[in-house]
Amino acid sequence: MKKCLYCQQRNAEQRDTCERCAMPLPASEAVTQARRLSRFQWFCLGLTLFCIAMFFWLPRSFY
């Protein structure tokens, strides 16, 4: 089931546009979840690389 973002109408999974208001429907939930997970993995990778860069860039002692 795909829910329309504009009128909350529930549409069949195969539909690309809303049954009631003909607005384009968002991608199915599974695709959205996969995209979100992929973005999160890239964020973690970027954060790790940033930490490694900081580890070598910052001085080892503060005395």
Taking alpha carbons only, the member of 16, 17, 18 closest to residue 7 is 18
> Which of 1, 3, 7, 51 is close enough to bind Zn ion by CB under 5 A?
7
For the chain, the residue count is 63
> Which of 6, 42, 43, 50 is close enough to bind Zn ion by CB under 5 A?
6
Taking alpha carbons only, the member of 35, 41, 36, 9 closest to residue 22 is 9
Beta bridge partners of 24: 17
**Window of 12-20, 29-37, 41-49, 52-60 that interacts with Zn ion by CB under 5 A:** 12-20
Does residue 18 belong to the site contacting Zn ion (CB under 5 A)? yes
> Which of 21, 27, 37, 45 is close enough to bind Zn ion by CB under 5 A?
21
